[in-house]
Amino acid sequence: MEIKTIADIDIKLASVSKIKDVDFETLSFGNVFTDHMLVCDYENGVWKKPSIEPYAPFMIDPSAKVFHYGQAIFEGMKAYKDEQDDVWLFRPDQNYERFNKSAVRMAMPEVPEDVFMGGLKQLLEIEKDWVKKGKGSSLYIRPFMIATGKGVVAAPAVFYRFMIILSPAKSYYSGEVKVLIAEHFSRAANGGIGAAKAAGNYSAQFYPTKLANEKGYQQIIWTDDATHTKLEEAGTMNVFFRINDTLYTAPTSERILDGVTRKSLIDLAKRENINVEVRPVLVTELVEAAQNGTLQEIFGAGTAAVVNPIVGFEYQGTYYELPKLDQPVALALKEKLNNIQYKLEEDTFGWTVKI
């Protein structure tokens, strides 16, 4: 795809850049932001003229419906710089489509493509120096929309704000990850908003994850809300299981997010002649495979970490350690995906888009 620059946009540049004060070698994920942000307001059924302006706090009414009824959605994307200093996006069309699916589910207005994609292109052209070269370096992109309309009546707002902020990032590494399989708490339910990237999905995970942390586990593998017998997601990521030489992952649904990294890893695995099965995976299958030695790997898949290997899991009071492999499939797939993102290998899928 080709992203067209939006023509009708106001641009106000920061008088001084913060970039010289940033140590790009010691970045902690999501805490440093670039000089500018994209802003576009929706009022009375119409999207207004977008603007790029200096990154700064903004005023909002205390009765804004985002605070009271949780109308807030977001996306997570990355920009990469190749050795020729060109900036690339990875499958941005998928993030744009999913953003608007989330908007529809949350009774929020869809964002026009020229505002989302064209505005992002313009913003990245201004902030190009914040995208550093080298494998592991990237610029994390956070598009989001909140309900700014005033009032505490329980109904959708009529005023909204769409924004894009940018944060330079290094390789994401969270150390060894051990997980607890959920037996009571659920991430999402049928008929709910689990397939939307809605803010409330993530805040609802904090308490059960805190309980898992107190037991020595970094994340939770979520199970289905009705029976807690089907494995669904790991923390905030999609999850894969390798039993013998086959990769298994749950199908997307009303409860499971349609992850861009997930679908990319599935396509990559198929290209590399790795067996992949997209089907419900039972907790009993996982436990049995761990007991008989056929469980080889578990890993999460998402934008921030790309692939996050899991070293073991607990279920019903028993901990199962995974084998330490010399050549794990998880890291091989991560390497191939990163090489495409950084333009170090040919993109046979047409996933990368030049800014």
Check residue 297 and give its pLDDT.
Answer: 97
Q: What is the pLDDT of residue 231?
A: 96
CA-closest candidate to residue 60, choices 174, 159, 183: 159
CA distance 281 to 248: 7
Q: State the pLDDT at residue 254.
A: 87
pLDDT of 131 reads 96
Q: What percent of the chain is modeled with pLDDT above 70?
A: 99
pLDDT top residue among 305 and 46:
46
Give pLDDT, residue 173: 62
- Enumerate domains of the chain plus CATH numbers: 10-171 (3.30.470.10), 177-341 (3.20.10.10)
Chain segment 214-270, per-residue pLDDT in tens: 999 999 999 999 999 999 999 889 999 999 999 999 999 888 889 999 999 999 999
Model confidence pLDDT, tens digit, residues 143-163: 999 999 999 999 999 999 999
Q: How far apart are CA 307 and CA 340, in angstroms?
A: 15
Mean pLDDT value across residues 310-339: 95
Spell out the long-range contacts of 204-211 with Cβ–Cβ below 8 A and sequence spacing 24 or more. Answer: 205/235, 205/236, 208/182, 209/235
So what's the pLDDT on residue 256? 87
pLDDT in tens, 98-125: 999 999 999 999 999 999 999 999 999 9
The answer on pLDDT for 4 being more than 90 is no
Statement: the pTM of the whole predicted model exceeds 0.85: yes
At residue 305, the pLDDT reads: 85
